[in-house]
Amino acid sequence: MEESQLDVFSSDLWRHSPSVDLFLASASPVSSAGTHTTGTTTTTGTTTHTDESVDTQLRRSDDTASLNNALGENALESIRRQRAQNKLIHLDPIPDFKDRSEIKPWLQKIFYPQGIEIVIERSDSAKVVFKCKASKRTKQSMWRKGSAGGPTSVNGGTEEAETPLAAQAVKRLQQGKKKRSVSPFNTCPFRVRATYSLKLKKWNIVVMNNGHSHPLKFNPESEDYKKFKNTLRNEGDWDAVRKFDELEYRAKFNLPTEPEPIPCDCGLTQEIEFFNIVLPTANSTLNSSSETITKPRHKSEISRKHKAYKEKVLNQTESDTRFQQKLDFDPDSVMSTPNLAHLQHQISETPVTTQGNINEQNLQEEIDFNNFFLKPTSGPTPHIIHEVKEDLNANLPGHLDFDQNLLDAFTMPAWTPPCEAYSTETGQDDSVRATSINSVTHYNSSPATNLLSSDMGNIHLVDRQSRPQPIDNDTSNTQSPPWGSQHDIFR
């Protein structure tokens, strides 16, 4: 409702605002925002926060909430430290989710401040896959020039989510040939994958393709965000509520809200499985796909089946009715730490870099490109690192107050202009510059070029290798050219 309103509004003025990133936020007043001043939360150490503005409220930050916030901080740090988009970021100390419905809110705490609105792409009892919410492009965005400016979109974007040119090409390719329709603005490779390990009876969360094909933008007007915030309130997670209040405030006044971008991490990326293939060039068919992480090659054994989720939990983010319940359940206690000890234990008993499906991590590889560049294209000997929190964490103060740190994460960006050396190497169109932590991804650095080259190549290349048997289909000689090579990256 106000969303569409906002769409129109912002899309009209978008072009005229130099600081477009925060325009939407400033155009729409936020309830509690403005009552806080930046950095008012003074809680540190073990002191419970006695923020004056919160006193009158019914406060109850669960121990769980506190811990979750702490874990969120760690997760955020892990993500920030990541260099290449196609590395896997294993979020290790994570809350002991009792139900899969608890995962999304936790992730939202992490990703909303980064300007990323996540939605569930797929879920079942053993897995939840998150992706960026599809942007709602406006009519204007459809007709925009290739670069600069931007329409209004829900998620990442207050700018076109993709270069319309490239987007259109994608769209066309898709439409020309049947498919479950997807808007061209919905091609972001970013994924967060939560999987439940039966063995460990524990959830694992991995961030994949930590790069975006669209600008990131924190949009407090989003319906999902409002739901999320309500959820926080219903859970009595006042730390988080306050933090997001401040975030809204900052967004409203155009203050920087995003985590500090890492200087220049662009460069050639390559998956370990494809090192035996010629490194992609701009016109290589491997180009667009080699940038994103794909399915691991080997897996362990399997079987299946859980039970109906339907009868289990009601959508947590929608039940405003639970507000009362929650409050009644644990009214005042601000800092009690009953479960905390238990959760703490669980966390500490999992080694820092190894845990859970570390195997998957190794298979997918995380490549340190600083090393990689030293030995350029020299065979399959990439330096493999584990991104999973090396120095951070360590500090797990008994309870809350991690929100301060978490907030700091996106509070003071020491912005460094992104290096474009490599992006121009593979692509000549930098109109879409990912404003994510890792600046430009090659996947998007040259969307149109990549699209065209790889798409046309796919017609032949992929067909060939995915169907090894000779194509003796009567007269339909849809030849797969002799230069076919392998890249079964997708799917």
Partner DNA sequence: TAATGGGTGCACT
Partner DNA sequence: AAGTGCACCCATT
**Binding footprint of a copy of itself on the chain (CB under 8 A):** 142-147, 163-166, 168-182, 186-187, 189, 285, 288-289, 427-431, 446-449, 451-452, 454-459, 461-463, 466-469, 471-478, 490-491
288 binds, among a copy of itself, Zn ion, DNA, none (CB under 5 to 8 A by kind): a copy of itself
Is 467 near DNA (CB under 7 A)? no
Q: Which residue has the tokens 């997001």?
A: 244
CA dist 422 and 419 (Å) reads 8
Site stretch for DNA (CB under 7 A), options 66-74, 189-197, 242-250, 413-421: 189-197
Q: Which of 279, 472, 474, 467 is nearest to 484 (CA)?
A: 467
Q: How many CA atoms lie within 13 A of 328 on its CB side?
A: 5
Restricting to residues 90-119, name those near DNA by CB under 7 A.
101, 119
Residue whose CB is less far from a copy of itself, 271 or 429: 429
Residue 482: count of CB within 10 angstroms of its CB: 7
* Cβ closest to DNA, residue 68 vs residue 153: 153
Q: Which is nearer to Zn ion, 6 or 132 (CB)?
A: 132
- Binder among 5, 281, 359, 428 for DNA (CB under 7 A): 359
- Provide the token pair at 354: 């190894």
Please choose which of Zn ion, DNA, a copy of itself, none residue 212 contacts, taking the beta carbon within 5 to 8 angstroms, the exact cut-off set by kind: Zn ion
Helix H or strand E segment including 129: strand 127-132
Site string for Zn ion, 183-212 (x = CB under 5 A): -----x-x---------------------x
What one-character DSSP code corresponds to residue 53?
A: H
Is residue 450 classed as helix, strand or coil in its secondary structure? helix
Which residue is it, tokens 């090192």? 275
Q: Which of 34, 37, 59 is nearest to 49 (CA)?
A: 59
Question: Does 196 interact with DNA (rule: CB under 7 A)?
Answer: yes
- Is the distance from CB of 115 to CB of 297 less than 8 angstroms? no
Strands 89-91 and 191-197: unpaired
- Please compute Rg for the chain using Cα positions: 23
Task: Return the SS3 of 124.
Answer: strand
Give the nearest distance from C-beta 121 to DNA in angstroms: 6
Per CB under 7 A, residues contacting DNA are 1, 3-4, 7, 101, 119-129, 131, 133-136, 138-139, 178, 180-183, 185-187, 189, 191, 193, 195-201, 204, 208-209, 223, 292-296, 298-306, 308-310, 315, 317, 357, 359-360, 489-491
